[in-house]
Structure 1
Amino acid sequence: MRRPPRRPARLRRPALTIRTRLTLTYAALFTVGGTFLLFALTFAFYRAIFRPMAPDQIPSRFDPDHDHFVDLSDQIRSAATEHLLRDAFLLLLLVVAASALLGWWVAGRMLRPIAAITAAARRAGQATLHERLALTGPADELKELGDTFDAMLERLDTAFAAQRRFIANASHELRTPLAVTRTATEVTLAKPHPTQAQWRAMAHDVARATDRAQHLIDSLLVLARSEQRLADVVDDDLADITAEALDRVAAEARDRGLQLETSLDPAPLEGNLGLLEIAVANLLTNAVKYTPAAGTVRVTTRTVTHPQDADHPGARAELVVANDGPPLDPATLDRFLEPFHRGDHTRLSAAQGAGLGLSIVAAVTTAHHGRLTLTARPRGGLTATVVLPRSNRPAG
Structure 2
Amino acid sequence: MNPPRPTLRRRITLLNGLLLVATGAGVLVTTWLMVEAGAGQAQVLLAGLAALAVLSTLGLIGGYWITARALRPLQQVTTTARRLSTETLDQRLRYSGPDDEIAELAGTFDAMLDRLASAFDSQKRFVANASHELRTPLAVMRTEVDVTLTDPEADLAEYRRMARVLRDASVRANSLVDALLLLARTEAQAGRRLARKAPVDLAVACTTALSTVQRDIARMGILVNTDLRPAPVIGDPSLLDRLAGNLVENAVRYNEANGHLWVHTGMTAEQAWLVVANTGGELDPSEVPALFEPFRRGGLERTGSRGAGLGLSIVRAVCDAHGGSVRAVARSGGGLEVTVLLPAAATTPVSRGAASVPQRH
**Interval of TM-score (by shorter of Structure 1 and Structure 2):** 0.7 to 0.9
RMSD: 2.9
Query: 1:152-185: per-residue Cα shift (whole Å, max 9, x none)?
Result: 1111111110111111111111111111111111
1:85 aligns with 2:41: no
Q: Which residue of 2 aligns with 1:6?
A: none
Partner of 1:241: 205
Residue in 1 that maps onto 2:248: 284
Counterpart of 1:323? Answer: 278
- Does 2:151 align with 1:196? no
Note the residue ranges of structure 1 that are not aligned, 5 or more in a row.
1-22, 50-75, 306-314
1:106: which partner in 2? 66
Structure 2 matches for 1:381-392, cutoff 5 A? 381-390=335-344, 391=348
User: Considering only CA atoms, is the larger Rg found in Structure 1 or Structure 2?
Assistant: 1
Structure 1 residues 255-266: aligned runs within 5 Å: 255-266=219-230
Work out the CA distance in 2 between the residues paired with 1:234 and 1:33: 70
Query: For 2:354 and 2:105, how far apart are their aligned partners in 1?
Result: 30
Aligned to 1:254: 218
1:338 aligns with 2:283: no
The alpha-carbon deviation at position 33 of structure 1 amounts to 10
Q: What does the per-residue CA deviation read over 1:229-257, in whole Å, with 9 as the maximum and x for residues that have no partner?
A: 22111122222212211221233212211
Give the aligned partner of residue 4 of structure 2. none
| Contact residue 239 and residue 301 of structure 1 kept, 8 A | yes
For residues 143-182 of structure 1, the aligned pairs below 5 Å read 143-182=103-142
Kept in 2: contact 1:235–1:270 (CA 8 A): yes
- Aligned-pair identity in percent equals 42
Tell me which of 63, 69, 88 is aligned to 1:128: 88
CA shift for structure 1 position 336: 0.8
Contact 2:20 2:59 in 1 (8 A): no
SS in structure 2 opposite 1:132? coil
Partners of 1:254 and 1:81 lie apart in 2 by 112
Contact between 1:258 and 1:297, CA under 8 Å: does it hold in 2?
yes
Aligned length: 333
Given that residues 27 and 100 in structure 1 are in contact (C-alpha distance below 8 angstroms), is that contact kept between their aligned partners in structure 2? no
TM-score by length of 1: 0.77
* TM-score normalised by the chain length of structure 2: 0.84
C-alpha deviations, 1:174-218, integer Å up to 9, x for none?
A: 111111111111111112242110110110011011111101111
Q: 1:211 aligned to 2:175? A: no
